[in-house]
A and B are shown apart, each in its own frame.
Chain A
Amino acid sequence: MSYLPYAVAAWLFLIGLYGVISSRNLVHLIICVGVIQSSSYVLLLAVGYRTGAAAPVFVDIPVGTRAVDPVVQALMLTDVVVEVTVVALLLALAIQVHKRHGTLNPDELRKLKG
């Protein structure tokens, strides 16, 4: 199907959002944020594909061969590595929350009402 990758991306986004709002554990919540990240990467890569084209590496294929889009791959590549560290930052927050509050359940964190 020619729209399946886009549907996958949309589904991932929605399911990630659902995970965030219904989560009972902060680590699970942060991983759901990671799922949302994956959704945008899937969309980016899907947008870069060309049917029947080669990888954009011209070592063993002549320059001028039809190749897929290197720009989105470059965008996504750096972004993936970097977002791992942002997730690490969020998880560090979760660890400290557990240390100070004794719980990882968002329903039990009630310091900031009003």
Chain B
Amino acid sequence: MRLLPVLPVVTPLITAAVLALLTKLLPRGWSSLIAIASAVATAAAGALLFEGSLQQPIIYWFGNWKPKGHIALGISFAIDPIGAGLATFAAVLTAAALIYASKYFDSVENHFHALILCFLGAMCGFSLTGDMFNLFVFFELMSAAAFALCAYKTEDPGALQGALNFAVTNTIGAYFVLTGLALLYARTGALNMAQMSEALAAHSGGKLVLVAFAFVSCGYLVKAAVVPFHFWLADAHAVAPSPVCVLFSGVMVEMGLYAFTRIYWAIFDRTLHAHIPSLRVLFISIGVATALLGAIMCFSQRNLKRLLAFSTISHVGLMTLGIGLFTAGGLAGAALYTVGHGLVKGGLFLAAGILLHRFSTVDELDLHGRGRTEKWAGFVFFAGALGLAGLPPSGVSAGDDLIHEAAQAVGYHWIRWISFFAGAVTSAAVLRATCRIFFGWGPRRADEPGGAPKTQEARETDRSRQATPAIMTGPAVVLVMAGILLSFTPHLKRVATQSSITFQNPEGYTARVLRANPEPTPPAPVPADNSHLLGIVALVCAAIGAVCYLFSKPFRSTSHWILRPLGVLHTLHSGHVGDYVAFLTFGIAAFGLVCIFCLK
């Protein structure tokens, strides 16, 4: 126990340093193997930590700087199951992406592996830490690695522009976080989350706390790509290499939501608990807007990766709904949703990468009918659509169940229709793409103007191979099947709900961190019998919608006519970084004013 809590962070980082050291000395393929081994080791360490923290959250003080008179001096890792689970999940996705990437790039720079490992180390540190500034440091590390990885394909002008948009918006978000952190430090004199919570609870609130809350939350929500901070995500995903997109969509974006929810429950809940109904309204509005906008934009995309990126935005909106309910059930649902969605989306991005590798394009219309030879990629796409709609044994449906139950408990019965809509539309988009590419259904040309314009995608590999190697299809299939069958994991919902109860216990957290008092084990929740009908209905609607769209011109014309006023949305997503930052400013200002006026 003296080294284990640190291993998920230290293993990838030291491997990255070693790879950079030995960069020209290693034979081809060795750096890939070493990187994969490191990711697997990290996943193992994360899993052990998850096991260990189920009974009692693990507290680890770096440098053995224990609290002195209830004032935290050193940096602590406060490891609970949700954090450890997220770290393990990040490592698993990284291992899959690295296995895929070992044959994917023809001449992989060793620096690629080092960067991905730094990215993984940062994500693990981010999920395990209990210190605000440490969270910021790992956030910056995650971002720096992400910017470089996003711009990997330097030959593609779009990649550079996408990476620039990504970098500028996220850096500005990070500096909002630091500003909020400075304000909190001035009020509380602490950087440790538990100590901040105690100090805030001792004084009364005041506008400073609200403004700091707004800044810190919005900074992390920029990473989470909720409306109106979401503009960078589609650009970044459209241009990053496919294995990197797996990590972006699967876990990096969800880290933003994790940070928000950790900060709220660990620091602000003791001050803002009475305002939870207003916060609920705020976050549910954000979630609904994100889910709907993402779904609508998703359906009108031609570029597969951009389509998947908008579907990520939509599903992040649904996760925000779960978190925004501020109950244990909602958080548990969001956690399961993250894992289920991440696995499925990872598989889908890898499959899109396979298509790009074989056919040098990810434009849906250009690929019309050409995918017939890629049976496995087609399978992954089809299974992915099932997963996105929330078909019952999938992780997404388990998350949905918990979220709907929690929503019902606090009176928001209509949330299930939002997730129905988002799931159906995103699934329909993927099904439409699957049928068009792999079966050759539907028209070859866009017969109506409108919708997203065609984008050029640079090749990620140099030679297209006759057959896709198994090392590329393997991870895609494994990921998507794991996502679809996630509900079969024993005790999944019970563990998730219990972990959420522990997570949402600020007094217990503070006592455990500052005074080493053990926390009581939360009670086992009563299992509810959910009707799984909604997921199946969503899938059926998605299938019908996709098929009608492909085969019926009147249906297409009607849908384009309905969506025509939404063409303004496409102009808003202009690719111009100034526009994005203007929306960011608007979002933070609005959030700040809402906090000041509604959370007095």
Contacts and interface: CB of A to CB of B under 8 A. Distances in A.
Interface of A: 9, 13, 17, 20-23, 26, 29-30, 33, 36-37, 39-40, 43-44, 47, 71-72, 75, 79, 82, 85-86, 89-90, 93-94, 96-97, 100-101, 106-107, 109-114
Interface string B115-134: 00000000000000000010
B127 to A, nearest CB: 21
Interface stretch (B161-169, B319-327, B495-503): B161-169
A26 B574 CA distance: 17
B577 A40 contact: no
Contacts of A26: 164
A86 to B, nearest CB: 6
Given A40-B182, A96-B151, A114-B570, A33 B172 contact: yes
Interface residues of B, number: 51
Contacts of A106: 576-578
Interface of B: 133, 140, 143-144, 147-148, 151, 154-158, 160-165, 167-168, 171-172, 175, 178-179, 182-183, 185-186, 191, 234-235, 238-239, 301, 306, 452-453, 455-456, 570, 573-579, 581-582, 585
Contacts of A97: 157, 160-161, 164
B480 to A, nearest CB: 27
Given A40-B182, A75-B133, A112 B453 contact: no
Contact of A89 (B147, B162, B456, B575): B147
B167 A23 contact: no
Given A93-B151, A93-B160, A114-B570, A36 B578 contact: no
B144 A44 contact: no
26 contacts: A9-B179, A17-B172, A17-B585, A20-B578, A21-B578, A33-B172, A39-B179, A40-B175, A40-B182, A43-B183, A47-B182, A79-B178, A85-B144, A90-B147, A93-B151, A93-B164, A93-B167, A97-B157, A100-B154, A100-B156, A101-B157, A106-B576, A109-B575, A110-B575, A112-B238, A114-B573
Contacts of A9: 179
Contact of B179 (A13, A23, A29, A71): A13
Nearest to A21: B578
A33 B171 contact: yes
Contacts of B581: 17, 20-21
Given A39-B175, A47-B186, A22 B578 contact: yes
